[in-house]
Structure 1
Amino acid sequence: MAEGAELVRRHYPEASVGGFSRVNGSIEFYTRINALVNENSVVLDYGAGRGAQIDTERVPYVRHLKTLKGRVKHLEGCDIDETVMGNPFLNSAKVFQPEKPLPYGDNTFDVIYSSWVLEHVADPAQVARELLRVLKPGGYFCAITPNKFGYISLASRLAGNVNHTALLRKIQPERLEHDVFPTFYRMNTRGALSKAFTKADEVVVYDSSWEPAYHFNNALVFRAFKLLHGLTPPGLNAVLLVFVRK
């Protein structure tokens, strides 16, 4: 058993049943996505990359929730990095330039989802405009991203983009260097998201606290972050979940 998984089981005894804790955020996020799609859905993974979110997932049930290929009509992926072209969890993929329109027609997708991407957006208005353009009326854009006011974002901003890769290499040694991109946090508050998606029909944003992720596989650090999560007031939790209906 991986050391990180052992730490989760030690501090969340229920994880011995199915391999996940009651505060597993991936289950929270991807369950909602699964509730929005069916076998006729055309779906876009925005910022799909090489498929690391699935490839590195250690819990079989969570991996199943994340794997939509084969359970929807078509799963498209797009990214600014060419590694997306080799992503095995997609039906097809395209590379795009962030300052240009997405390479899809208007009203193409029933659902668009994005995992740990919005923190890298430099132009929120342009990104929101394009996402809404390619989303069908009544469709949803779903995102998971750090809360700008959470401790993860604060630590990242204090470190700066110059030190970002080196810091993540120490904290998450399993992460590959080409999975790390500059961060801006311009789309990582309720206010910023509401402003960016002002033309949407509905914007639902809430913050959440999950299992500690940045713990160096150290039991003492894990315990300290678990305590921090318990003491963090609403609004300052580390993660934002975003659901925008066109």
Structure 2
Amino acid sequence: MTHQSIDSTFFPELSAGGFSRVDGTVAFYQRVNALVDRDSVVVDFGAGRGVGHIELGSPYSRALRNLKGKVSKVIGVDVDEAVLSNPSVDQAYLLDRDGSCQLQDEIADLIFSDFTFEHIPDPATSARELERLLKPGGWLCARTPNKYGYIGLANQLVPEAIARTVLKAAQPERKEEDIFPAVYRLNTRRALLKHFPSSQFEHFVYTWDAEPGYHANRPIIYRTFKVLQYLTPPPLKTIYMIFLRKRTDSGRSR
């Protein structure tokens, strides 16, 4: 059974548009799209090679991901030189290993970061840089695993070499170059409030469970994860959907 067919077994509405009622990509990027307009300058923090825009999901979800042409400018930043060839950005810059870049202060109306926060080794430095780049009143939008969700916990408890082997079996379509070590230092409500304090940011954060993604195309594993998701309380859901608005009266960076 393929990944698509097993999803269709549990979410028959996939045949009507190519996405399920719990599709996390659609949920996240619909809200991102609602927060920008033609004049917006957008920064894709952790843009990489743009795999989500060209390879993953339905045509509808790929179109939602790609903001190029919908806004004034999309600027991609990443530590990986692959960002320099990302087709979904208008400009690309390399981040220093500490998370800083050469962009000017308050350049962005919106910054989005999709499955990047879990890889940030120094959240304090990265948070200062994100706050520096964002205009007052601008939005910081991120999707990232919950440190205390079952996927986050498994990733932290299993040694990296074993985790990579399991990931390849569970998600055989995942490419090696798209797998990065996760440290989970910016993946709890407490961490978000610490590094993006309420004195500087309004917080609109919620948790989410999308379709199970680590099931090796086995119905019994898929069904087990569905039951687990149903029983899991909101603080332990697998994904954080993070929407923060920079206050207009917060003053300069920390």
Range 57-66 or range 154-163, more displaced: 154-163
| CA–CA separation in structure 1 for the residues paired with 2:175 and 2:99 | 27
| CA–CA separation in structure 1 for the residues paired with 2:139 and 2:92 | 20
Who is 2:239 aligned against? Answer: 239
Any stretches of 5+ residues in structure 2 without a counterpart?
247-254
| CA–CA separation in structure 1 for the residues paired with 2:53 and 2:222 | 23
RMSD: 1.4
Who is 1:170 aligned against? Answer: 169
Q: How big is the shift at 1:9?
A: 1.4
Render the CA deviation track for 1:61-117: whole Å, top value 9, x for unaligned: 111111111111111101101111111111121111131522211010000000110
| CA–CA separation in structure 1 for the residues paired with 2:81 and 2:156 | 27
Name the amino acid aligned to 1:195. K
Residue 115 (1) aligns with residue 114 (2): yes
Local SS of the residue matching 1:85: helix
| CA–CA separation in structure 1 for the residues paired with 2:34 and 2:56 | 20
Query: Retained in 1: the 8 A contact 2:99–2:126?
Result: no
| CA–CA separation in structure 2 for the residues paired with 1:225 and 1:56 | 25
TM-score, normalization: structure 2? 0.92
Who is 1:218 aligned against? Answer: 218
Q: How big is the shift at 1:230?
A: 1.1
Name the amino acid aligned to 2:215. H
Q: How big is the shift at 1:205?
A: 1.7
Render the CA deviation track for 1:186-223: whole Å, top value 9, x for unaligned: 11001110110015231222111111111112222112
Query: Retained in 2: the 8 A contact 1:161–1:183?
Result: no
Q: How big is the shift at 1:27?
A: 1.1
Local SS of the residue matching 1:235: helix
| CA–CA separation in structure 2 for the residues paired with 1:11 and 1:169 | 23
Local SS of the residue matching 2:234: coil
Name the amino acid aligned to 2:74. L
Range 165-174 or range 44-53, more displaced: 165-174
Residue 99 (1) aligns with residue 98 (2): yes
| CA–CA separation in structure 2 for the residues paired with 1:77 and 1:217 | 33
| CA–CA separation in structure 1 for the residues paired with 2:144 and 2:83 | 20
User: Percent identity between the aligned chains?
Assistant: 45
Who is 1:82 aligned against? Answer: 81
| CA–CA separation in structure 1 for the residues paired with 2:112 and 2:21 | 23
| CA–CA separation in structure 2 for the residues paired with 1:178 and 1:13 | 32
Any stretches of 5+ residues in structure 1 without a counterpart?
none
Who is 2:252 aligned against? Answer: none
| CA–CA separation in structure 2 for the residues paired with 1:35 and 1:118 | 22
How many residues of Structure 1 are paired with residues of Structure 2 in the alignment? Answer: 245
Name the amino acid aligned to 1:222. Y
Alignment of 1:1-246 (within 5 A): 3-99=2-98, 101-198=100-197, 199-246=199-246
Name the amino acid aligned to 1:94. Y
Q: How big is the shift at 1:156?
A: 0.4
Query: Retained in 1: the 8 A contact 2:94–2:101?
Result: no
| CA–CA separation in structure 1 for the residues paired with 2:81 and 2:165 | 23
Range 159-168 or range 96-105, more displaced: 159-168
Range 105-114 or range 13-22, more displaced: 13-22
TM-score, normalization: structure 1? 0.95
Name the amino acid aligned to 2:91. S
